[in-house]
């Protein structure tokens, strides 16, 4: 067999290792984590920091907390879920991470349509941060895997 035939055969054997089910699960869990963080902040505020306010005041605080906390929480939770997702991977860590971020954006992109015009920029920043969190999670996972191979 010639070198060219070996190269073609080897390239056909390489398969993009995308774990779509795990990617989708990681994206959903990342979004659930953001919701849990926002609920915890709102409950802490209403029970310990400012008890006795009206529902409208708590709602206003919840929106304000969501505006400032959700973008960072989305990035951090996506990063963490990609680390979890990547445990089962042998390759394509970054691709799986980015896809997790994109899936998270797709889960939340509908909120952009209903957002106040002055909040839309923050939604776009949040979307970018989710994808960046997924990318960084994939990169860290890839570095961990490479380090593990060198140590072994």
What distance in Å separates the CA atoms of residue 139 and residue 6, rounded to the nearest whole number?
Answer: 30
From 108, 109, 83, select the one nearest 96 (Cα to Cα). 83
pLDDT of 59 strictly over 80: yes
Going by pLDDT thresholds of 50, 70 and 90, the confidence category of residue 4 is: low
Q: What angle do CA 102, 91, 83 make, to 5 degrees?
A: 55
Q: Give the orientation angle of helix 120-151 with respect to helix 93-108, to 10 degrees.
A: 160
What distance in Å separates the CA atoms of residue 99 and residue 104, rounded to the nearest whole number?
Answer: 8
Top-confidence residue, 90 or 151: 90
Q: What is the mean pLDDT of residues 100-104?
A: 98
Q: What is the largest CA-CA distance in the chain?
A: 80
On the 0-12 / 13-18 / 19+ scale of CB atoms within 10 A, 5 is exposed
What distance in Å separates the CA atoms of residue 136 and residue 80, rounded to the nearest whole number?
Answer: 10
CB 26 within 8 A of CB 84: yes
pLDDT of 17 strictly over 90: no
The sign of the CA dihedral 94, 98, 104, 106 is negative
- Output the pLDDT for position 152: 65
Q: Residue with structure tokens 């990681």?
A: 26
pLDDT of 6 strictly over 60: no
Q: For residue 102, what are its two tokens?
A: 């994109």
């Amino acid at each position: 067999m010639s070198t060219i035939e070996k190269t073609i055969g080897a390239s056909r054997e390489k398969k993009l290792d995308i774990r779509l089910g795990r990617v989708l699960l990681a994206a959903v869990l990342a979004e659930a984590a953001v919701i849990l963080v926002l609920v915890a902040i709102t409950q802490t505020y209403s029970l310990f920091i400012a008890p006795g306010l009206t529902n409208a005041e708590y709602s206003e605080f919840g929106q304000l907390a969501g505006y400032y906390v959700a973008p960072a929480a989305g990035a951090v939770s996506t990063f963490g879920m990609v680390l979890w997702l990547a445990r089962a991977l042998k390759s394509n860590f970054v691709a799986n991470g980015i896809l997790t971020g994109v899936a998270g954006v797709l889960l939340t992109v509908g909120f952009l349509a209903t957002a106040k015009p002055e909040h839309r920029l923050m939604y776009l920043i949040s979307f970018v941060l989710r994808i960046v969190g997924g990318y960084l999670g994939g990169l860290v996972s890839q570095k961990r895997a490479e380090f593990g191979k060198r140590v072994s």
